[in-house]
Chain A
Amino acid sequence: MKYLFCLCVLTILSCVSEPKPVVLEVYDFDGIENFLNKKDDKVYVVNFWATWCAPCVKELPYFEELNANYKNKNVEIILISLDFPQKYESKLKPFIQKHQIESKVIALDDVDSNSWIPKVSESWSGAIPATLIYNKDKRQFYEQSFNYSELETELKQFLK
């Protein structure tokens, strides 16, 4: 009986502590391009980042905050990770889990960056963090870091 009780407790505990597994979508640039050219009525805020990029990690909470405040206002945040594929399991997924990232995270795995960087923006040198805000009518690219108010100010240009 005691044994059964222990087993029950263990089962319950393991259920409670078992975190939801992170499902990561990985694309080459052809796949990513769909996320950069949606033609619906939403405003998309697309951030290029990586777990090893300190300024990216620093600004990530602002994108999360933007997501929380604007997801019901026709705004979608997409976080495109440039982490190295061999780090998806050891770094990226644990990071998403630990910080309970709510925004959509997808991974871009495409080594031929010389061909795809200009397709994101002609003005992009390739440094991250970098952010693209767009809707079906206009787009703006930012090779810079953001704080929350700067980010919100830029987004509001698209919500007028």
Chain B
Amino acid sequence: MKTIKTLFVLVAVVTLSAFTNAKTIGPNHGYHVGDFATDFKLENIDGTTVSLSNFKDAKGFIVVFTCNTCPYAVAYEDRVEALNKKYAKKGYPVIAIMPNNTNVKPGDNMEAMKRRAKAKGFTFPYLMDEGQKIYPQYGAKKTPHVYLLQKTKKGNQVKYIGAIDDNYKDASAVTTKYVENAVDALLEGREIKESNTRAIGCSIKV
């Protein structure tokens, strides 16, 4: 009896510590290519709530953590819209998520997001990461930061993490379109050549 009790305690301790570890890993790590991404239920600029599970016909998603106030994010606004125009109809819609604390950056609050989306004519959902719970799970560090997901039977699998392309300054001088290359590869069943890239961006405001 005593051994069973000890064993039970031991199992409890091990289980608990496993969970504690999982928790501490949280914000600084996030997803790697190959991991499965969480779904969410976030408020869109049109007042509806959006989840990845709403998109029954999608083959995957171009999830972009972005905002109104970061010059790099602003530099990419038109290119994010172009990605949605090109790939939503092919099954890979853009889902933009604004991760900043709006008390720190009032220019990123819901009203400002609505104004920006209207002014730029965004055709993709632009969601508020209310309570800042989603971006740490993904491991987003900055804006803009892209996570390309592919729908599989087991869930939405991360296929690419990083930058949109290799020239933030000048869209016409881009030599490698990282995200387009990755989505094209998925659409054609090819391997993604570059599945991790890096770019300068604004740290997410906590």
Contact = CB atoms under 8 A, between A and B. Distances in A.
Contact of A129 (B104, B173, B178, B203): B203
B126 to A, nearest CB: 21
Nearest to A130: B203
Given A55-B203, A129-B203, A124 B166 contact: no
Interface in B80-107: 104-105
B197 interface: yes
Interface residues of A, number: 22
Contacts of B162: 114
A143 B141 contact: yes
A113 B163 contact: yes
Contacts of A118: 198
B166 A126 contact: no
Contacts of A128: 200-203
B128 to A, nearest CB: 20
B198 A111 contact: no
Task: State the main secondary structure of chain B at its contact with A.
Answer: loop
Task: State the main secondary structure of chain A at its contact with B.
Answer: loop
A112 B173 CA distance: 11
Q: Interface residues of B toward A: which range?
A: 20 to 34
B36 interface: no
Interface string B136-162: 000001100100000000000000001
A117 interface: yes
A109 to B, nearest CB: 9
A118 B205 CA distance: 23
Given A114-B197, A125-B142, A127-B142, A53 B202 contact: yes
A115 to B, nearest CB: 8
Given A84-B71, A127-B204, 7 more contacts: A54-B104, A82-B200, A85-B169, A111-B167, A114-B162, A127-B201, A128-B201
Interface of B: 70-71, 104-105, 141-142, 145, 162-163, 166-170, 173, 178, 197-205
Interface of A: 50, 52-55, 82, 84-85, 111-114, 117-118, 124-129, 143, 145
